[in-house]
């Protein structure tokens, strides 16, 4: 993230932008919720619940490394999804003051737009095929587990498009032509 580190002057002070549209706020708030079901499923695995796997299939998830990976993946995904909210909140425009060294500084719009746009493309590409979950064999899962896990992962299809829509809204609001002054 590129932060304006120059001393505040008339040219570097935060210029007000239009508030985000209601649809963008709703989309941003929805994003962490679409990531949550799959994360909760992985946490169930970490806690020792087979969560749809057969006894043999579940053995691979009993190692410490697998548990650390699944827990870390769940936390990182949820935090990444929560960053979408920053595109409609003040902390997406000015770094919160409590952050050492850069707190209170303006976030350059492209420093938020470029990673968000790349993330939207990545999440769209990563999860686009999950819609076909049930067409792939899952021999290590029970029939009910296959159904439930497929359902829990389906919301991830929305992650990329939601992030893309909120990113476009953020970009439009932060273009120089749209700034109020």
Nearest to residue 117, comparing CAs of 161, 179, 157, 172? 161
The model's pLDDT over 126-165, given as tens digits with 9 standing for 90+, comes to 999 999 999 999 899 999 999 999 999 999 999 999 999 9
Predicted model pTM? 0.85
State phi, psi for 94 to the nearest 5 degrees. -135, 130
Residue 98: partners with Cβ closer than 8 Å, 6 or more residues away: none
pLDDT at site 149: 93
Contact 103, 157 (CB under 8 A): no
pLDDT reported for residue 10 = 41
More confident: 167 or 96: 167
Q: Does 63 have pLDDT greater than 80?
A: yes
3 beta partners: 107
pLDDT 10s digits, 8-43 = 544 445 567 889 999 999 999 999 999 999 999 999
Rounded to the nearest 10 degrees, what angle do helices 64-82 and 22-46 cross at? 170
3-class SS at 63?
coil
Note the pLDDT of residue 152. 96
Handedness of CA 63, 127, 157, 167 (dihedral sign): positive
Residue 20, by phi and psi: left (phi above 0), alpha (psi -120 to 50) or beta?
Answer: beta
Share of the chain above pLDDT 90, in %: 69
């Amino acid at each position: 993230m590129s932060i304006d580190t120059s001393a505040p002057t008339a040219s570097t002070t935060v210029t007000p932008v239009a508030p985000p549209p209601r649809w963008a706020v709703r989309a941003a708030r929805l994003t962490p919720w679409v990531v949550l079901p799959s994360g909760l499923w992985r946490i169930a695995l970490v806690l020792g619940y087979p969560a749809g796997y057969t006894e043999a299939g579940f053995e691979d998830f009993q190692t410490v490394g697998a548990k650390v990976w699944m827990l870390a993946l769940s936390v990182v995904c949820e935090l990444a999804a929560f960053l979408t909210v920053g595109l409609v909140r003040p902390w997406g425009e000015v770094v919160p003051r409590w952050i050492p060294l850069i707190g209170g500084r303006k976030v350059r719009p492209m420093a938020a737009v470029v990673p968000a746009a790349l993330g939207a493309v990545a999440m769209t590409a990563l999860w686009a095929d999950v819609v076909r979950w049930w067409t792939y064999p899952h021999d290590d899962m029970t029939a009910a587990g296959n159904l439930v896990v497929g359902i829990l992962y389906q919301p991830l299809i929305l992650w990329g498009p939601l992030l893309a829509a909120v990113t476009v809204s953020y970009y439009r609001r932060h273009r120089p032509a749209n700034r109020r002054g």
